Amino acid sequence: MNLKYKPWCIALFLLLCSAGHLRAQDVAVRSGFFKDSVRVGDETGYYLTARYPSKLNILFPDSAFNFAPFEYDHKKYFPTETKDGKSYDSVVYYLSTFEIDRIQTLSLPVFQLNPRDCVTYTSASDTILFTSLVPDLPDTLSIQNLPLKVSIAHQDVPKAFNYVVLLIVLGVLLVLSIIGWFVFGKRILKHYRLKRLQQAHQKFLEAYTPQVDALRATFSAPTTERALSQWKKYMEQLEARPFTKLTSREIARLENNEALGKTLHAVDGAIYGHDTAVVDSLETLKTIAGQRFSKKLEEVKHG
């Protein structure tokens, strides 16, 4: 097949190719690693620069670009510098590798955006060496010649805490506590109440008896009043009735006890009328308190 071209077509084609070649030479792209070696997982810097006519729209790769065999971490842009119609852009990409190839290479492009298309300018490849953390050993090395480190020193290994056993023990203790409470709980409460009653009565006697003994030696209206007050407080605690807030007549009516009313009236007469014959009445109140205490003990024991 014989094709003939007109001279002006050939000239136009050569002109377009020459213009495209000149346009490509207007954009200069350079890139490379800052270090000559890298270890697995370590971060290394990789620079990418472009010098181009300021009228062009040039874009650099972003985080979505495939940097294989490296993995992108972050980047740092530097401001565009423009002088005499030429612009200079630069960026540093911080990359890491998890490949174990001894020699690893990378080249990155920049992109020129045009109204209808996009032109790519790729930098020359740069190489970085992978440094292994584990020394290479030949496959034919005998086990006797392996570089093993021998140590016979005793090494304390911390024992792991067994939480399962702890939970089982706590569960057993909880079950035993519940069973013990149902079996012995009432008895424990009864013992506690009896102990409190005995302690309260002993405390009352230790405070009340010296007051009566003092009145037996020398009469004193204030001492008599203190003794009566101590008796009322103890009876109020023992019987759970408001003895301290009631008069002698009201206490007698509340207790429905005429003899108690006469005893309290005699004590009041000693306080306000200075009747010195009050010791027998106070001893009677002490006896009444002891009788109520014994009755309460029996109620708790058989309750």
| CB neighbourhood size of 152 (10 A) | 4
Structure tokens at 47: 């620079």
Q: At residue 102, does pLDDT exceed 60?
A: yes
Closest CA to 95 of 40, 34, 43: 43
The DSSP code for 44 is: E
Supply the pLDDT for residue 185.
Answer: 76
Supply the pLDDT for residue 6.
Answer: 43
* 126-131 vs 70-83, strand pairing mode: unpaired
* 86-97 vs 43-53, strand pairing mode: antiparallel
Supply the pLDDT for residue 258.
Answer: 87
% of the chain residues with pLDDT over 90: 53
Say how far apart CA 90 and CA 187 lie, in whole Å.
88
In three-state secondary structure terms, 31 is strand
Q: What is the mean pLDDT of residues 75-104?
A: 94
73 confidence band (pLDDT: 50, 70, 90): very high
The DSSP code for 278 is: T
In three-state secondary structure terms, 245 is helix
Q: At residue 13, does pLDDT exceed 60?
A: no
Supply the pLDDT for residue 154.
Answer: 74
Closest CA to 109 of 71, 52, 60, 177: 60
Structure tokens at 81: 């510098």
Closest CA to 228 of 201, 257, 265, 202: 265
45 confidence band (pLDDT: 50, 70, 90): very high
294 confidence band (pLDDT: 50, 70, 90): very high
Most confident of 47-56, 142-151, 294-303: 47-56
Helix (H) or strand (E) holding 209: helix 163-217
Supply the pLDDT for residue 138.
Answer: 60
CB hemisphere CA count around 221 (13 angstroms): 8
**Topology adopted by domain 25-131:** Immunoglobulin-like (2.60.40)
pLDDT digits (tens, 9 = 90+) for 111-157: 999 988 999 999 999 999 998 876 655 656 566 666 666 667 777 77
What are the domain boundaries of the chain?
25-131, 185-301
pLDDT digits (tens, 9 = 90+) for 212-223: 999 988 988 899
pLDDT digits (tens, 9 = 90+) for 221-236: 899 999 999 999 999 9
Answer whether 0.75 is exceeded by the pTM: no
Supply the pLDDT for residue 301.
Answer: 85
Say how far apart CA 107 and CA 38 lie, in whole Å.
17
pLDDT digits (tens, 9 = 90+) for 248-265: 889 889 888 888 889 999
204 confidence band (pLDDT: 50, 70, 90): very high
Average pLDDT, the chain: 85
When mean pLDDT is compared across 20-34, 71-85, 101-115, 193-207, the lowest value belongs to: 20-34
Supply the pLDDT for residue 16.
Answer: 38
When mean pLDDT is compared across 28-37, 177-186, 199-208, the lowest value belongs to: 177-186
Supply the pLDDT for residue 33.
Answer: 96
Q: What is the mean pLDDT of residues 71-99?
A: 95
Q: What is the mean pLDDT of residues 17-30?
A: 61
CB 286 within 8 A of CB 208: yes
